[in-house]
Amino acid sequence: MTVNSAHDLAGRREVVTEVPGPRSRQLQERRHRAVARGVGSALPVYVRAAGAGLLHDIDGNTFVDLCSGLGVTGVGNAAPDVVAAVRGQVSEFTHTCFLATPYEGYVAVCEELADLTPGDHEKRSALFSTGAEAVENAVKVARAATGRAAVVVLDHAYHGRTNLTLGLTARNNPFKQGFGPFTPEIHRIPASYPFRDPAGQTGEQAARRSLEALERQVGGENVAAVVLEPILGEGGFIVPAPGFLPEIARWCAEYGALLVADEIQSGFCRTGAWFASEHEGVVPDLVASAKGIAGGLPLSAVTGRAEIMDAVQAGGFGGTYGGNPVACAAALASIGVMRRDDLAGAARRIEQTLLGRLKDLQSRHEVIGEVRGRGAMIGVELVRPGTDEPAPELAQRIVAACHARGVFLLTVGTYGNVLRFLPPLVIPQGLLDDALDVLEECFAQVAAGGAG
Ligand code: PLZ
């Protein structure tokens, strides 16, 4: 590969200034005068370059990346194949609008989606730019195809920040506060949250309890779709108890409601399979994907059964940028890398390393309530010792201590108390091991009462 990209920058974790460093702090001041307060940044170090598991900032610090730009750069940042495909495409044409004059890349991405998403039935796809747009369009499809209005979502769900998807999202602050009213006919049912559910409750029991309430309150025959994340992402990397997803799928089939899997964060090899629904053999009617699909370029999709997707009238889908040619080229290159380098296998290896090391850490620290997740999507839920009370301040202290030492990870979860491990799937083993060594030090330091 002749392309030069930051992907291949040799490097290791290195902190040479305070974090954030002086240049980042200067930029941060500039930012405060220009960028709206509502837009946050978890770690305000300004990035200069990024590669396969490393973030290089403008102060000369290098961080191990356990975030992947919120689960986007699974193939790595500036991945050489993606860079080459994007360069090739931008020099041919940057945009026509598929609604005006089409191009092959769009069709090819939809063919890949038909091939890769669960189920071997005939499928159709429509492309958009953001995850929220994909979810929003999946709801449109479900309503058009069923002629019903009600949409059912889970507690702890996150589906986006547009008005409809905020309505679907569970958490009020900071996502929804002040932004309502939201659209009607959204109904929320309890999720399966094994760490917090009654001991011994099976996934099927959790689903039955939620669905019985739904039948009483809404009526199964009024439900257009159940929209769910097969692994709850922003809600805290919650893996439902086995049997929960299959029971919801069974119920949807019984009532003629559609099962919409929001695989925006869990899709494209992230959990050790192409899509997380596969772990329980669930075949959703519609799949929303985004994030990992295109190596950092904005692209999203709704993929589903041909007859359901085609219930939408000609011209019923659109958007100026949906399926932009540069984003499609990036997606085709990213999918090629995932296939060629077996990144689902890579995610399973990351899972082994993370679960092994983190469960070992759990055996030594009472504040670790649960270690959970699949593939390269692993969460560590922190609690006050001897209880299941969330410990968000502790999570913040651990994360701050990691940042100061050059390991970039975030917290996640409804209660803000889950450490979030979401590394690029191509992260070298050495970097992952190093980041976990640092994490152990941070736990020891924080446990000993040290400052972050
Ligand atoms: N569905 C499952 O994880 C995006 C949110 C970042 P967009 N998650 C990151 C933030 O705080 O805004 C997400 C997701 C799931 C939908 C979305 C929305 O995708 O591309 O951010 O619109």
CA nearest neighbour of 126 among 322, 355, 408:
322
Between CA 311 and CA 318, with CA 317 as vertex, the angle to 5 degrees is 170
Take atom 5 of ligand 1 and give the residue whose Cα is closest. 160
Same-domain status, 199 and 302: yes
Is 1 a domain residue?
Answer: no
> CATH number, domain at 189?
3.40.640.10
The DSSP secondary structure of 88-141, one letter per residue, reads HHHHH-S---TTTS--HHHHHHHHHHHHHSS-SS-EEEEEESSHHHHHHHHHHH
Same-domain status, 190 and 329: yes
Is 383 a domain residue?
Answer: yes
Assigned token pair, 36: 């709206």
Same-domain status, 11 and 117: no
Domain final residue, candidates 340, 359, 388 = 340
Ligand 1 touching residue 263 (CB < 6 A): no
Are 308 and 145 in contact by the 8 Å Cβ rule? The answer is yes
Ligand 1 touching residue 298 (CB < 6 A): no
Instruction: Identify any residues that bridge with 121 across adjacent strands, giving them in sequence order.
Output: none
Average pLDDT over residues 25-29: 98
Give the DSSP letter of residue 425: T
Same-domain status, 413 and 393: yes
What's the Rg (C-alpha) of the chain?
22
Is 452 a domain residue?
Answer: no
CA nearest neighbour of 62 among 7, 15, 111:
15
3-state secondary structure of 430: helix
CA nearest neighbour of 210 among 435, 351, 224, 201:
201
Between CA 402 and CA 405, with CA 404 as vertex, the angle to 5 degrees is 65
Domain with 22, as residue range(s), is: 6-78+342-447
**Cis amide prior to 181 (ω within 30 degrees):** yes
Give the pLDDT confidence score for residue 8 in this predicted structure.
59
The model's pLDDT over 311-350, given as tens digits with 9 standing for 90+, comes to 999 999 999 999 999 999 999 999 999 999 999 999 999 9
Domain final residue, candidates 294, 310, 340 = 340
Assigned token pair, 87: 């360069």
**pLDDT at 2 exceeding the cut of 50:** no
Same-domain status, 283 and 381: no
Ligand 1 touching residue 123 (CB < 6 A): no
> CATH number, domain at 70?
3.90.1150.10
Domain final residue, candidates 317, 340, 363 = 340
**pLDDT at 1 exceeding the cut of 50:** no
Is 106 a domain residue?
Answer: yes
How many domains does one find in the chain? Answer: 2
Same-domain status, 64 and 97: no
Same-domain status, 247 and 346: no
The model's pLDDT over 414-443, given as tens digits with 9 standing for 90+, comes to 999 999 999 999 999 999 999 999 999 999
Is 124 a domain residue?
Answer: yes
Same-domain status, 93 and 116: yes
Is 231 a domain residue?
Answer: yes
Same-domain status, 70 and 116: no
The model's pLDDT over 33-60, given as tens digits with 9 standing for 90+, comes to 999 999 999 999 999 999 999 999 999 9
Is 399 a domain residue?
Answer: yes
Is 375 a domain residue?
Answer: yes
Average pLDDT over residues 98-119: 98
Same-domain status, 98 and 40: no
Same-domain status, 366 and 379: yes
**What is the b/e burial string over 44-64, where b = at least 16 CB atoms within 10 angstroms of the residue's CB?**
ebbbebbbbbbbbbbbebbbb
Report the residue among 67, 70, 228, 239 best suited for mutation to probe ligand 1: largest number of ligand atoms under 8 A from its CB.
Answer: 70
Same-domain status, 296 and 388: no
pTM value?
0.97
Ligand 1 touching residue 159 (CB < 6 A): yes
What sections of 268-342 are H helices per DSSP?
306-309, 325-340
For 236, half-sphere exposure in the C-beta direction (CA atoms, 13 angstrom radius) is: 29
CA distances from 255 to 54, 144, 215, 223, 252 (A): 48, 16, 10, 8, 5
